[in-house]
Structure 1
C-alpha cells in the first residue's frame, strides 16, 4: 500500500470519526469490527479518492437508515411457501468455503426466473442474504481462520441462459446497483461456468465497458469449471452444478442438503431460522407487519445503465436473428 493510499485512509478515518447518530450505529453493522478494511473497500470503489469515498459511504449509511436495513433480518418473508417459491426462482446459496476460508456463493443466473413474487420480495431476499453474510457468515469465517475474512467468491452458473433474460435485466440492474453502491468490493473473484454461446456473444461487447478492477475479478471457465475450481476449494465446497463435467445445473438436481439453492440446504435453513428468531425478539417490542419489505431502489450508475442497454441490444439481435 502506497503513501497516497495510507493518507487517503487516514483522511477517511478522520472524517468517519465525526459521523453522528444514527449513521454511527448503522456503520457498526457495515464494518463489523473491521473499520480499516471497510474504509479501504469504499476507497477502492472510488479509485482512492477520499472525498468521493466519503460521499459514497454517507449515501450508503443514509440508505440504510431510511430503509431500516439494520432491521431487515427481523423481517421474514411469509408464509414459508412464499419464501420457498422465492428460493426456487432466485437461485443463490452458500456451497462452502475456499481453502483460504472465503465463503463460496453459487448463483444460478441462467435458471433464475424471478417470476414467483413481486420485485420487492426478491430485493428483500437479496439484501437479507447480503446482511446475513456480513453479520454472521464472514465474522464466523474470520473467527475460524484467525484473521479477517471480509470478501467472498461467487460462482455464476449460466446454464439455461436464453432470451427470456430480457425480462430480468431491470431487476438484475436494481440488485447490482444495490450491491455496487452499498456493498462495494465484497467479491474477491467471479467465476463464470456453463456459459452458452449467447453469453459469450454478450461478454465480448460488455467486457470493454467494465472498469479494469472489475474485469480483473472475472474469470470465464471452460465447461462446469470443476478442475479449475478444485485448485482453490475442496470437492465438498463445489456448487452442485460444478461437480461433474457436463452435468449442467438444475433447481432440484441434488438433494436439499446438497443443492445450495434449496430452502432445505443448511445455509438457507440457518438464514431462515435466524430471521424467524430475530422476528420473535422484535415482535416482543412491536408487531411485525406482513408483506414485502419495501426498499428504495437506487438510481443505477451511468456505466451500469450502459451495460444493461448493451446486453438488451445484444439479446434483441439474437431474438431478431432467431439464433436462439
Structure 2
C-alpha cells in the first residue's frame, strides 16, 4: 500500500508496501494470535487456515511496485551460500534445494508472490464465507477513536498491562491519582552522592521497563474506595451506559478517552470517567485458545503477550511481525511458530528488553559483569557509517577478541545488547532502514580469536530471533588459517543467512558494498575514526529524565494506543469489503507510527544512556 504519511519509498513486503497475497498472510497471522490471546474476533477458528476467508485491501489489490524501494546494489559474487552448499545426496538434498531451482510440487503450482495456498479445501458451510457474501455491501467504516471496554479490559486488567499496575505508578501517584513529585525533588542530591561514593543501590531511579507493568499476573491491585459523604444523596433513576468504542457523534466533541452516559431526572449528560477504574471489576470472560497450533501449547500465554508488548521501540509492530513472515517464506504456521519461540526467548531465556534498558553503565560502575564490560573497553567493535544500501555498518575487529576475556554468557549478553542498540539506530519509519550490515575484519586473525561458542550463538540468534535484520555480512581479509574455522562454523549457518555472507579480500571488493569514504583508513578507506568507548559516569546509570507527570501521561497514552491498535487490527482482519479494509489498514499504519512516536518520547525516561548515546551516534527519532 502507499503510505498516507509523507516520507520515502519503503522496501518491499513492509506494512507500507504489501501485495494482496502478503496482506492476507499478515491478517491470518494476527487472527491466530487474537484467538490465542483471547481478544474478540468474529471469525470462527475453523476458518482461520483458509486464505479465502480474508479480504485484501484496495491498495494491495492494485499494488504499484513503483512505491517500493529496492536495494541499490546487487553483488553477484561468490557467497557463503555457494560455499556451504554440498552434494544433493541423502539428508543434504533439502538444503541444496534452497540455493538452486527445483520443480514445484503440484500443491505449490498456483502459489503467488511466494505465498503458499491452504492445505485443504474450504468447508462448504464456512461461516466466514457467508459473512463475506452477505455483509460486504453493507459494511460500515467505524474508526477506533477510543478503545472499547472489552479490548481495554483484556489488555489492561486480564494481562495486567496497564501502567496503573506498575511499581512506577504506585511510587509516583497517590491514592487519589495525583502525581506526588517526590522523585523529582530527591534525584539531584542522590545522584551527587552517587558520584562521590559510587553507591548505586540507594538510587531513586529504579530501572523501570515496560516489563514491570506485567511482572505479576496474580497480584491484585488494591482498590481505593472513596469515603461516603452522608450529606450527598445519590441521584434518582441513574442509568449507566458504558461507551463501547467507535466514533462518538459529533466527532471530537468529547476528547476524553472514556465516557459514561448518565440519565438523571430525564436529563442525559456525558461525563468523563477513568477507564482503568471503571473496567477494573468488569464482568468479561477472556477465552484463550491454545489448541489452534501446536506452538501455542508450548508456551505460557502471559509471557508471549508480555513479550509482544515490550519489544517495540521506535519501529513498527507490523513490520516486526513481517520479519518473521518473510523469514519463513510466507508460511503462516511456520512464521507463527518462529515468532512465538522468539517472544518466549525474550522473556524466559534472554531478557533482551531489560538488558538494553540497563545498558553498560551500571555494570561498569558497579564492577560487575566484567566479561561483558571488557568487550566494550577493548574497543573491538563500533557502529558507524552506512553501506551502499543505506544500512548502518557494524564493524568488528576479530583480532581483539580473545576467548579468555569473558565467559560464554557474558559474550552472549554483549552480542544481544549490541543487536538491540543497532535496532535503536535503524530508521524504520522515516527512511525505511530496517537492516544493518556486519563487517568482520579478520586482519591479524589467529586461532586464539576463534570463539566457536559465541559464533554459534550469534549465528543462531540472528537466524532465529532477529530475522531479516541483516543487509550483508562481509568477512574481510580472512587469512588462510580461517579456512579451518570456516569448515566448522559454516554448518551452523542457516541458508537464508548464508546467502547474505560475502568474502572480500581487498579494498576494491569492499567498495562494491561500502563507499570508500565510510571504510576505515587502516583498511585503505578514507574514514580516520575508530570505535572508542566513552567511559560512563554516574549519571549514565540512570535514564536522562526524571519520571514526572509527563511520563505518567505517556505511559497511559501508550496503553490506549496499544488497545486502539489491536481493536483496529480486529476490524481490519474482519473486514469483508476491500475499500473498508483499506481505511482500517491506513488507521493501523497511523497507530503503528503513533506508538513509535510515543516510544521516542518515553525513551529518556526508561533507558540508561548506552555507548552510542554517549558518543553521539544514536539520536532517538522515528
Pairwise TM-score range, normalised by the shorter structure:
0.5 to 0.7
Corresponding residue pairs, total: 258
For the pair shown, the structure with the greater C-alpha radius of gyration is 2
Deviations 1:118-148 (A, max 9, x none): 33322222211122222x211xx346xx332
Q: Is 1:73 paired with 2:356? A: yes
Aligned counterparts of 1:155 and 1:47: Cα–Cα separation in 2: 26
Deviations 1:279-312 (A, max 9, x none): 9979xxxxxxxxxxxxxxxxxxxxxxxxxxxxxx
Aligned counterparts of 1:221 and 1:14: Cα–Cα separation in 2: 44
Aligned counterparts of 2:418 and 2:470: Cα–Cα separation in 1: 14
Q: 1:233 to 1:40 in 2, by over 3 A?
A: same
Decide which of 502, 505, 509 is 1:219's aligned counterpart: 502
Aligned counterparts of 2:421 and 2:508: Cα–Cα separation in 1: 30
Shift of 1:189: 0.8
Shift of 1:235: 3.8
When the two chains are superposed, the root-mean-square deviation of aligned CA atoms in Å is: 3.6
Decide which of 412, 420, 427 is 1:123's aligned counterpart: 412
Residue equivalent to 1:94: 383
Shift of 1:214: 2.6
Q: 1:53 to 1:161 in 2, by over 3 A?
A: same
Aligned counterparts of 2:366 and 2:414: Cα–Cα separation in 1: 13
Residue equivalent to 1:243: 524
Shift of 1:63: 1.7
Q: Is 1:52 paired with 2:317? A: no
Question: Structure 2: which 5+ runs fail to align?
Answer: 1-12, 14-18, 38-158, 160-301, 548-622
Shift of 1:77: 2.3
Partners of 2:408 and 2:454 within 8 A in 1 = yes
Residue equivalent to 1:316: none
Partners of 1:158 and 1:194 within 8 A in 2 = yes
Question: Structure 1: which 5+ runs fail to align?
Answer: 246-253, 283-324
**Match of 1:147, SS?**
coil
Shift of 1:70: 1.8
Shift of 1:220: 0.8
**Match of 2:374, SS?**
helix
Q: Is 1:42 paired with 2:324? A: yes
The normalised TM-score by structure 2 is 0.36
Partners of 2:394 and 2:436 within 8 A in 1 = yes
Residue equivalent to 2:440: 156
Which has the larger share of helix? 1
Deviations 1:10-63 (A, max 9, x none): 322323445644534432454544233322321233343221221121111112
Aligned counterparts of 2:311 and 2:498: Cα–Cα separation in 1: 25
Residue equivalent to 1:230: 511
Deviations 1:157-200 (A, max 9, x none): 1123323245x212322233233221122111111111111224
Aligned counterparts of 1:137 and 1:90: Cα–Cα separation in 2: 19
Shift of 1:210: 4.9
Q: 1:263 to 1:30 in 2, by over 3 A?
A: same
Residue equivalent to 1:10: 27
Partners of 2:325 and 2:335 within 8 A in 1 = yes
Aligned counterparts of 1:219 and 1:274: Cα–Cα separation in 2: 41
Residue equivalent to 2:574: none
Aligned counterparts of 2:36 and 2:386: Cα–Cα separation in 1: 35
